[in-house]
Chain A
Amino acid sequence: KAGVTQTPRYLIKTRGQQVTLSCSPISGHRSVSWYQQTPGQGLQFLFEYFSETQRNKGNFPGRFSGRQFSNSRSEMNVSTLELGDSALYLCASSWDSTITDTQYFGPGTRLTVL
Chain B
Amino acid sequence: QKEVEQNSGPLSVPEGAIASLNCTYSDRGSQSFFWYRQYSGKSPELIMFIYSNGDKEDGRFTAQLNKASQYVSLLIRDSQPSDSATYLCAVGRSNDYKLSFGAGTTVTVRA
Judge: A and B partners, yes or no: no
